């Protein structure tokens, strides 16, 4: 076991260091025409923003909200909902158990309630029911007097469940953002910007974003346009948590939502922010990704996602306090389960030796965290990773991949072995008979070996610009913040500085897993932290080339700039 740990440590150290790719410099006419500093102009150029789009990118305005009636089937959906409102029908909003699905459900249920509608939420249990529209659940809703079901963040592939429900007299409106199959479900209306022939100008909306657009269309049709302003926060939570590109319309949704959260957060959200020790007046997209979303997701992973839904809509201070405390405990439990499962999965990976794809399974794995473990393995070893909760007769797996390998296409080639599967190029899931696991593993390994032959399996680190520490300070940090919110499609700026003097370097954190630096260049001194590089202390020389983000380190309510070191190498 000691040898295995040593091998794992060396491999992780190797993978900590990445292929550096300094992005090409912006043309002089771009730099001159941007109206911004050369650094900010370079960042804009790297993100593909043309000169005419700089203003709307830096100051996203309401005109980025496209006409919701450009979405496919929006008129039919609004007409059916309006009829339901007039006749007092009971409507169910059928969501997903992740943050995107939870916030989408909250948007529609609370929005419809404001119009006097009897709307009820339905979010399936992750382990007992699984993802998406289910015939049993739809029939249960019908027997409860529901006559219209609106799906959010799911439904685009639910051909048979929708067909069966329609035959039973249940009307279905599908709102989704996932890629449709060639065959569509026979729903009354399907709202999805990715449908063939869609006239909608932006395809990056999440489930929460599509639900927001449906509510916007309904409010607009009823002359209550301003009512949509109260739902930007939920749209922002879902958009950031689902790792959607923070460009175009999403950029406006998230910017407005963050402003709303910082100004007057919902009761439950405010409790999460307080318990997590975040600065309530400066909530960022990164805070959602790394702190808020994991807590909201903890309910669906270990119990039922409806608890997080209730926290987002509650108007009771006591309920907000109780549920947020419960979520804090569940998130801590999730972290323990994840750490234990990751250790077992990592041991299996090391026993298997060097493979182009990581495949591990265990009866003890919790089905709610296998996706998180797969993500950690893929990040740590830079290989596609498949983690399976092994059952007596049926097993469920979750996959995370790297840009060089499309895991969804690989599962498509294995569809004959699978009971269910779905996802996209970098993340997917499946269910299959346990007896088929060895054949699935063999097939996926063959597909990965073929696709990755000759590929250097080492992550690439795109660098925005090269600079010296003397030119980086509070003013440069403030300049770069005009590009926020940062996230998918608009990453936090990555900078390179060469020949930086190391005044001091020590290990820190549990297990000495991180490095703390004191760095200098010229007359400028900087603190720095390299997370996950604790095993690389022996590689630290007197002078380093460093790749880093600038960030604020908050401590006791005081914020100080520091370097978040993403990689380093001895200076030449």
Query: DSSP assignment, residue 369?
Result: T
Cβ neighbourhood burial of 3 (10 Å; 0-12, 13-18, 19+): exposed
**Cβ–Cβ under 8 Å, residues 528 and 562:** yes
Q: pTM above 0.85?
A: yes
Assess contact for 91 and 84: CB atoms under 8 A.
yes
Residue 485 near residue 246 (C-beta atoms within 8 A): yes
- Least confident piece of the model among 230-244, 319-333, 347-361, 419-433: 419-433
For the segment 78-102, what is each residue's pLDDT rounded down to a tens digit? 999 999 999 999 999 999 999 999 9
DSSP state string for 279-321: -GGG--HHHIIIIIHHHHHHHHHHS-THHHHHHHH---HHHHH
Do the beta carbons of residue 363 and residue 394 sit within 8 Å?
no
Q: Please determine, for residue 507, whether its predicted confidence score (pLDDT) is greater than 80.
A: yes
* Beta carbons of 15 and 458 less than 8 angstroms apart: yes
Q: Comparing C-alpha atoms, which of 259, 191, 200 is closest to residue 230?
A: 259
Q: Give the Cβ contact number of residue 456 at 10 Å.
A: 10
8 has a pLDDT exceeding 70: no
Assigned token pair, 511: 């297990």
Per-residue pLDDT reduced to its tens digit, 133-142 = 999 999 999 9
Q: How far is residue 112's CA from residue 21's CA, in Å, rounded to a whole number? A: 49
H or E element, residue 456: none
The CA distance from 110 to 367, in Å, is 30
Average pLDDT, the chain: 93
Domains of the chain: 2-56+460-570 (2.40.50.460), 64-264 (3.90.1640.30), 265-335 (no CATH), 354-452 (3.10.310.30)
Alpha carbons 250 and 64: distance in angstroms, whole number: 9
Other CB atoms within a 10 A radius of the CB of residue 348 amount to 15
| Residue 230: C-alpha distances to residues 108, 111, 212, 256, 512 (Å) | 12, 9, 11, 10, 45
What torsion do the CA atoms of 485, 324, 267, 253 make, to the nearest 10 degrees?
Answer: 20
Percent pLDDT > 90 in the chain is 84
* Residue-level pLDDT at 11: 45
User: In this structure, what are the phi and psi dihedrals at residue 36, rounded to the nearest 5 degrees?
Assistant: -125, 170
Distance between CA atoms of residues 373 and 168, nearest Å? 40
Does the pLDDT at position 5 exceed 80?
no
Dihedral over Cα of 214, 217, 221, 222: its sign: positive
pLDDT per position as a tens digit, 133-183: 999 999 999 999 999 999 999 999 899 999 999 999 999 999 999 988 889
Distance CA 227, CA 262 (A): 19
Using the 8-state DSSP alphabet, how is residue 490 labeled?
Answer: B
């Amino acid at each position: 076991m000691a040898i295995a740990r040593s091998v794992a440590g060396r491999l992780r150290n190797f993978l900590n260091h990445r292929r550096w790719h300094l992005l090409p410099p912006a043309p002089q006419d771009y730099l001159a025409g941007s109206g911004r500093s050369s650094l900010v102009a370079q960042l804009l150029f790297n993100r593909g923003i043309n000169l005419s789009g700089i203003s709307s990118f830096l100051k996203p305005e309401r005109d980025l909200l496209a006409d919701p009636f450009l979405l496919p089937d929006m008129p039919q959906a609004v007409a059916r909902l309006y009829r339901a409102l007039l006749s007092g029908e009971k409507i169910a909003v059928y969501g997903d158990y992740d943050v995107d699905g939870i916030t989408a459900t909250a948007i529609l249920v609370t929005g419809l309630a404001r119009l006097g509608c009897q709307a009820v939420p339905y979010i399936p249990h992750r382990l007992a029911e699984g993802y998406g529209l289910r015939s049993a659940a739809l029939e249960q809703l019908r027997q409860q007097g529901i006559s219209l079901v609106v799906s959010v963040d799911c439904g685009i592939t639910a051909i048979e469940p929708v067909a069966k429900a329609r035959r039973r007299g249940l009307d279905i409106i599908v709102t989704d953002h996932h890629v449709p199959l060639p065959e569509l479900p026979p729903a009354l209306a399907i709202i999805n910007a990715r449908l063939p022939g869609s006239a909608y100008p932006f395809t990056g909306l999440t489930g929460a974003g599509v639900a927001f657009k449906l509510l916007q269309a309904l409010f607009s049709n009823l002359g209550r346009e301003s009512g949509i302003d109260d739902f930007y926060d939920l749209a922002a939570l879902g958009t950031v948590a689902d790792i959607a590109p923070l460009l175009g319309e999403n950029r406006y949704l998230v910017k407005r939502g963050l402003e709303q959260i910082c100004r007057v957060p919902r009761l439950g959200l405010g409790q999460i922010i307080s318990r997590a020790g975040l600065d309530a007046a400066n909530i960022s997209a990164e805070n959602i990704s790394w702190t808020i979303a994991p807590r909201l997701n903890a309910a669906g992973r270990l119990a039922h996602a409806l608890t997080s839904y209730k926290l987002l809509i509650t108007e009771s201070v006591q309920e907000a306090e109780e549920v947020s405390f419960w979520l804090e405990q569940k998130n801590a439990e999730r972290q323990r389960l994840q750490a234990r499962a990751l250790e077992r999965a990592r041991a299996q990976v090391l026993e298997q030796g060097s493979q182009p794809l990581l495949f591990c399974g265990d009866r003890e794995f919790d089905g709610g965290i296998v996706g998180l473990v797969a993500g950690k393995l893929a990040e740590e070893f830079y290989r596609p990773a498949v983690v399976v909760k092994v059952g007596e007769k049926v097993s469920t797996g979750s996959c995370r991949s790297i840009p060089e390998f499309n895991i969804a296409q690989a599962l498509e080639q294995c569809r004959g072995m699978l009971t269910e599967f779905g996802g996209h190029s970098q993340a997917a899931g499946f269910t299959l008979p346990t007896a088929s696991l060895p054949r699935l593993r063999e097939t996926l390994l063959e597909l990965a070996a073929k696709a990755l032959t000759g590929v250097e399996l080492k992550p690439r680190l795109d660098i925005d610009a090269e600079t010296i520490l003397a030119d980086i300070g509070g003013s440069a940090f403030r300049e770069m913040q005009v590009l926020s919110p940062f996230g998918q499609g608009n990453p936090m700026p990555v900078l390179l500085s060469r020949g930086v003097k190391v005044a001091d370097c020590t290990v820190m954190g549990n297990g000495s897993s991180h490095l703390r630096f004191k760095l200098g260049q010229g007359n400028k001194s900087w603190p720095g932290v390299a997370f996950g590089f604790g095993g690389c202390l022996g590689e630290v020389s007197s002078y380093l080339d460093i790749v880093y983000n600038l960030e604020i380190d908050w401590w006791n309510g005081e914020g100080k700039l520091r370097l978040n070191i993403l990689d380093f190498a001895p200076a030449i």
